[in-house]
Chains A and B, each alone.
Chain A
Amino acid sequence: MTARAVEKLPVALAAPRALLWREAVRRFRRHRLAMIGATVLLVLVGAVVAGPLAWRLPVNEIDFTQKLKGPTWGHPLGTDDLGQDLLARVLYGGRISLAVGVAAMLIAISIGTAIGAASGYVGGAVDHTLMRITDLFLSLPQLPLLLLIVYLFRDALRKALGPEGGVFVLVVAVIGGLRWMPVARLVRAQFLSLREKEFVEAARSLGAPPLRQVVRHILPNSMGPVIVAGSLDVAAAIIAESTLSFLGLGFPPDIPTWGRLLFDAKDNLDFAPHWAIFPGTAIFLTVLSINYIGDGLRDALDPRRVLSR
């Protein structure tokens, strides 16, 4: 380890920042699954962002003559039991589901990293307090807490931001705010081991202030597990949103998020499988591609990892 660190040191010193990034991009591009994941995710994001502009059928046009039709040219993903076009609904719902997933993940990671970093770096009483708080959050029964938060703040937020905006903020805050604990623990564990490492000691002895040690030296090296946890959180948030909608605490029932589409489709699974398959596939592809991207990012951002040829 010492030998390698010494050997790498001049390179790192000599290399401008841009080169490190180019190296990371190069490593990421060599990760084939990650590239496939990134492509799929880009297609999905592109579709939900631009799709509704190109596919002009309304999401809520009820037409009983078309109910429960399988895929046709008029309705490429078929229709649901009110005759509403599923392609339009999947595209529209994807915007919400993806936005909820990403936003909740960012919240969970930010809180988790901040608490984990503070806890792991400072140690002592701060560590103790923060970890007990983390335990406390982990032991909270999530569902009753969700109900409570929703009852307390729903009407106020709805008034301030409108029915959809208010629920969005609420759902994102609730899901993000209750999923940061595993991230905090992971980050803390990383910090505990990394802060004793030689390169951190070196930075410390060169006079780097604590914030710089954390941000420049320890954090980048501890991002691997965080990225993986974060990518899992996106998936969990999409699912959690559908749970909330199921309980009537999420978006209004006529807003077709992916979770809601699945929930509506479940009773018809045996004779109208297309209804569940398409939103289900969308969730599946999103989660899987984010996981692979997470994998690729971890490999690309970890300078100590040697890629196999």
Chain B
Amino acid sequence: MDERQLRELLEDVRTGGLSRRTFVTTMIGLGLTAPLAARMLTAAGVADAQPRGDPFAPTRRGGGGQLKVLWWQAPTLLNPHFANGTKDEDASRIFYEPLAGFDPDGNVVPILAAEVPTVQNGGLAKDLTWVRWRLKKGVTWHDGRPFTADDVVFNWEYVADPDTAAWTSGSYREISRIDKLDSHTVKVSFNAPQPFWSDAFCGNRGMIIPRHVFGPYKGAKSREAPANLKPVGTGPYRFVDFKPGDVVRAELDPAYHVPNRPFFDALEMKGGGDAASAARAALQTGEYDYAWNMQVEDDILRRLEQAGKGRVNIWATGNPEHIQCNSTDPWKEVDGERSSIKTTHALLSDPAVRQALNLLVDRAAVQEQIYGRQGQTTANFLNAPSRFSSRATRWEFSLERANQILDAAGWRRAADGVRVKDGKRLTMVYQTSINAPRQKTQQIVKQAAAKAGIDLELKSVVASVFFSSDPANADTYPHFYADLQMYNTTMTAPDPQYFMNQFTSWEIASKANKWQGRNITRWRNEEYDRAYRAADSELDPVKRAALFVKMNDLVIQNVVVIPVLWRNGVSASSVRLKGMDLSGWDSTFWRLAFWHKTS
């Protein structure tokens, strides 16, 4: 993009043809930082961003009819603390709310809190060892009981109890105590300084459940609570009906705590099907108002959009689609498990092989031909927020250099074109989940690898198996019983601490931890571990960002993973549906109360 085009864009923003947000996103896409983009706008005479607001200002609740949304994976339970998949988190978010959510830029936005705690307003300790939350007054649960500080304290006790076995417990682990200062104020104290103090009680992992309903079901009886399937929350819609694995129905809560919201009288969340038919239902036939997670080739989405009924929503996330190299031997069984850390990989332990593979992934072709608007090429594993993304790395697609590296490392071509060294053939199994864009990426990589004398055998596993946490199933991604595998890791919070623990040595997935460990590649590196620990307690945000950049660079330079694309969030919705303000750091429904339809 040259200067003239930039000026035209700025003019568009000034005259209102282009939103400020779109401009900033575009600039970030070009490699500029958000503050720089903001300065460009100010210089061009565009006013600063206004506090988040919506031009639509209804004068009464309801009147919007039914909102029909489609999730092609169906929710199975409605307790946010047991929600182990996006589908369950999103379904729970219809009924439950956290103290605060995360907007598309990763900022904390109060929901059940009255204000965002800051050092200035006395809500946050300078050394980040405690945070004081003031709660919004006048909020009631769907059964009419008031929401108070007791509920917040109860959520911590509920989650922290190991017998409850809550999926969200990681976000509450660092809390040492919670004091109720008055009926609507709590002080949360941490064991150590918490740079990411808004982990607990915020976003997807922070939804608050009522004490008076779940009180008797804390601990071992947690799974027996009837409210796990019949939620009582504070959200804009209250419970009507739930068929696990099929449909969730809700209706407007007449006592919702935001005036004149929500807009719709009822909500139906239907589950099931596949991404392509979901895209059709929202874009082509208009049967549904919103369809989640469009993992469909961009060409198909564009054609469906031409029907004019729907549009594709795209927003930034921190999720990298990447290929992992197994550090251990997936074909040798040791103590009842393969890919055991007692082994090393016969082929991938050679850095030349990993470097060659890194050169054989044609990211540009994958991006242009398959994902289109849905992602951008990247050399980094950690891409967002932008202050954490490394500028030192770069990627390249070069058959020639890959061949040179392999030749230099002593891998000779055998008669069938596949390279051999010391009696080892360069042939590997490359697995991923079943999903058309991924199978195409596999083929693109396989073809390039074949030209460099690496024979890749493709394997695809149905998504519900691949992404399950079933310790008995050898085809799940944490087992990693293959040489290479590809998927998209979700970055759940705008802070990378939790995200980056997937390369620490203590997180290695193994039989001992029932493959719940987050380090799937089984890579171990002391320098990385040290940097991670340092970041965990570093209070200076600049130094901390530098540590994360270093961690990313270690992973990339050692080719532990090969990033393919920095994926965007993609969904489909009716052209009339507005106010969603989709964020990569929070649930689809984080602004559900503000969703509305234009006529």
A residues near B (Cβ < 8 Å) are 60-62, 64, 67-68, 81-82, 151, 163, 246-248, 252-254, 264, 266-268, 270-271
CB distance from A170 to the nearest CB of B (A): 14
Q: How far is the CA of A46 from the CA of B436 in the complex (A)?
A: 32
Q: Which of B299, B447, B458, B474 contacts A62 (CB 8 A)?
A: B447
Closest residue to A250 on the B side, CB-wise?
A: B460
Question: With A and B bound together, what is the CA distance between A184 and B389 in angstroms?
Answer: 65
Residues 349 to 389 of chain B near chain A (Cβ within 8 Å): 365, 368-369
Smallest Cβ-Cβ distance to B436: which chain A residue: A267
Is the pair A268, B459 in contact by a Cβ cutoff of 8 Å?
Answer: no
Q: Give the shortest distance, in Å, between B300 (CB) and chain A (any CB).
A: 6
Q: Are A60 and B296 neighbours in the complex by a CB distance under 8 Å?
A: no
A254 to B444, CA, bound (A): 10
| A64: B residues at CB distance < 8 A | 365, 368-369
Q: From residue B58, how far is it (CB to closest CB) to chain A in Å? A: 38
Kindly state the separation between the CA atoms of A137 and B241 in the bound complex, as whole angstroms. 39
**Nearest 10 A/B pairs, CB to CB:** A248-B460, A252-B458, A267-B276, A253-B439, A253-B460, A248-B461, A254-B458, A248-B462, A248-B434, A64-B369
Taking a contact as CB atoms under 8 Å apart, the answer to whether B462 and A82 are in contact is: no
Contact B457–A252 (Cβ < 8 Å): yes
**Cβ A267 vs Cβ B462 within 8 A:** no
Q: Which residues of B contact A268 (CB under 8 A)?
A: 300
Q: Which residues of A contact B457 (CB under 8 A)?
A: 163, 252
Which residue of chain B is the closest to A270 with respect to CB atoms? B303
Residue B443 CB within 8 A of the other chain: yes
Contact A62 B303 (CB under 8 A): no
How far apart sit A191 and B41, CA to CA, in the bound complex (Å)?
Answer: 88
Number of A-B contacts (CB under 8 A): 60
A62 and B439 CA atoms in complex are apart in Å by 13
**Chain B, 433-457, contact with A by CB distance < 8 Å: what is the 0/1 string?**
0101001101110110000000001
The docked-state distance in angstroms from the alpha carbon of A212 to that of B174 is: 82
- Taking the complex as formed, is B553 at the interface, i.e. its CB lies under 8 A from any CB of chain A? no
Please state if A267 and B474 are interface contacts (CB–CB under 8 Å): no
- Residues in A whose Cβ lies below 8 Å from that of B443: 60, 62, 82, 253-254
Q: Chain B residues near A271 (CB, 8 Å)?
A: 303
Residues from chain A with a CB closer than 8 A to the CB of B276 are: 266-267
Question: Smallest Cβ distance from B110 to chain A, in angstroms?
Answer: 42
Instruction: Apart from A82-B444, A253-B442, A254-B439, list 13 A-B contacts with CB within 8 A.
Output: A60-B446, A68-B299, A82-B369, A151-B475, A247-B434, A247-B462, A248-B465, A252-B458, A252-B460, A253-B458, A254-B442, A254-B443, A270-B303
Quote the shortest CB–CB distance from B572 to chain A (angstroms): 14
Among residues of B, the one whose C-beta sits closest to the C-beta of A61 is B447
Interface contact B442-A62, CB-CB below 8 Å: no
Cα distance, A67 to B368, chains bound together (Å): 12
CB of A248 within 8 A of CB of B459, answer yes
Residues in A neighbouring B368, C-beta threshold 8 A: 64
CB contact list, B401-457 vs A, under 8 A:
434, 436, 439-440, 442-444, 446-447, 457
Quick check: B474 and A151 within 8 Å, CB to CB?
yes
Cβ of A293 to closest chain B Cβ, rounded Å? 35
A-B CB contact pairs (8 Å), 7 listed: A60-B443, A64-B365, A64-B368, A81-B440, A248-B465, A252-B457, A267-B297
CA–CA, A253 to B434, complex, Å? 9
User: Which one of A61, A151, A247, A253 has the highest number of Cβ atoms from chain B below 10 Å of its Cβ?
Assistant: A253
In the complex formed, the residue of B with least CB distance to A247 is B462
Query: Which chain B positions have C-beta within 8 A of A267?
Result: 276, 296-297, 300, 436
Q: Which residues of B contact A67 (CB under 8 A)?
A: 369
Number of B interface residues, CB 8 Å? 28
Contacts of A266 in B (CB 8 A): 276
A4 to B414, CA, bound (A): 71
Shortest Cβ distance from A249 into B: residue: B462
Q: In the complex, which residues of chain B have a beta carbon less than 8 angstroms from the beta carbon of A60?
A: 443, 446-447
In this complex, what residue of A is CB-closest to B466? A248
- Bound-state CA distance A253–B474 (Å) is 19
- Find chain A residues with CB under 8 A from B365 CB: 64
- Nearest CB in chain B: distance from A247 CB, A: 5
Minimum CB–CB distance for A77 against chain B, Å:
19
B 12-30 binary contact with A (CB < 8 Å = 1; else 0): 0000000000000000000
Residue of B nearest to A159 (CB): B331
A298 CA to B363 CA, complexed, in Å: 57
Q: Complex: how many Å from CA A81 to CA B465?
A: 27
**Do the beta carbons of A81 and B442 come within 8 Å of each other?**
no
Q: Nearest chain-B residue to A163 (Cβ)?
A: B457
Closest residue of A by beta carbon distance from B362 = A62
0 or 1 for each of B463-491: is its CB under 8 Å from A? (1 = yes):
00100000001110000000000000000
Residues of B contacting A270 with CB < 8 Å? 303
CA distance A253 to B429 in the complex (A): 12
Complexed CA–CA distance, A163 and B300 (Å): 32
Complex: how many Å from CA A268 to CA B443? 18
Kindly supply a per-residue 1/0 record for chain B positions 270-299, scoring 1 wherever the CB is within 8 Å of any chain A CB and 0 otherwise: 000000100000000000000000001101
CB-CB nearest in chain A for B300: A267
Contact B369 A252 (CB under 8 A): no
Residues of chain A within 8 A of B436, CB atoms compared: 264, 267
Whole-angstrom distance between the Cβ of A6 and the nearest chain B Cβ: 63
Residues of A within 8 A of B296 (CB): 267
Nearest-CB residue, chain A, relative to B275? A267
- CB–CB A254/B297 < 8 A: no
Q: How far is the CA of A248 from the CA of B443 in the complex (A)?
A: 15
- Nearest CB in chain B: distance from A194 CB, A: 46
Please, which residue of chain A has its CB at the minimum distance from the CB of B475?
A151
Nearest CB on A from B428, distance (A): 12
- B269, chain A: closest CB distance, angstroms: 24
B91 to chain A, nearest CB (A): 26
Instruction: Give chain A residues whose Cβ lies under 8 Å from the Cβ of B303.
Output: 270-271
List chain B residues, Cβ under 8 A from A68: 299
Chain B residues positioned under 8 Å from A254 (CB to CB): 439, 442-443, 446, 458
Residue among B368, B443, B474 with the highest chain A CB neighbour number at 10 A: B443
User: For residue A151, which residues in chain B have a CB less than 8 angstroms away from its CB?
Assistant: 473-475
- A82–B297 Cα distance when bound, in Å, is 12
Beta-carbon contacts under 8 Å, B289-347 to A: 296-297, 299-300, 303
Alpha-carbon separation in the docked complex, A44 to B465 (Å): 37
Residues of A near B447 (CB, < 8 A) are 60-62
- When C-beta atoms are compared, the residue in chain B nearest to A263 turns out to be B436
Report the bound CA distance from A254 to B459 in whole Å: 9
- Across-interface contacts of B460 in A (CB, < 8 A): 248, 252-253
CA distance A76 to B460 in the complex (A): 30
Return B392 CB to nearest CB of chain A, in Å: 31
Q: Nearest CB to that of A246 among chain B residues?
A: B434
Q: Which residues of A contact B465 (CB under 8 A)?
A: 248
Task: Determine how close the nearest CB of chain B comes to the CB of A207; give it in whole angstroms.
Answer: 59
Give the complex CA separation of A36 and B78 in angstroms: 60
> Closest Cβ of chain B: how far from A256's Cβ, in Å?
10
B208 to chain A, nearest CB (A): 39
